[in-house]
Amino acid sequence: MPQQLSRGESSRSDRQHEQEQDAQERRVVTETQDDALDSVLDDIEATLETNAEEYVRSFVQQGGE
């Protein structure tokens, strides 16, 4: 009987360890995606700051349009 408990505890421990590793990997992927998204948003913001007047003009109705 003690061997059965030991195996059960071991497999439970292994599963818990795998779950912790999976959670850590997901955190790393999420952080990487967040960094990439932040970079894209920074590029958009910089472009709008540089070309804001031109950007707004593209939406202004011209004459009889």
pLDDT in tens, 3-58: 555 666 778 889 999 999 999 999 999 999 999 999 999 998 998 888 888 878 88
Q: What pLDDT score was predicted for residue 6?
A: 60
Q: What pLDDT score was predicted for residue 1?
A: 46
Q: Tally the domains of the chain.
A: 1
Indicate whether 48 belongs to any domain: yes
Buried-exposed string 10-41: b where 16+ CB fall within 10 A, e elsewhere: eeeeeeeeeeeeeeeeeeeeeeeeeeeeeeee
Q: How far is Cα 57 from Cα 59, in angstroms, rounded to an integer?
A: 5
Indicate whether 17 belongs to any domain: yes
Cα dihedral: 22, 23, 28, 33 (round 10): 100
Indicate whether 9 belongs to any domain: yes
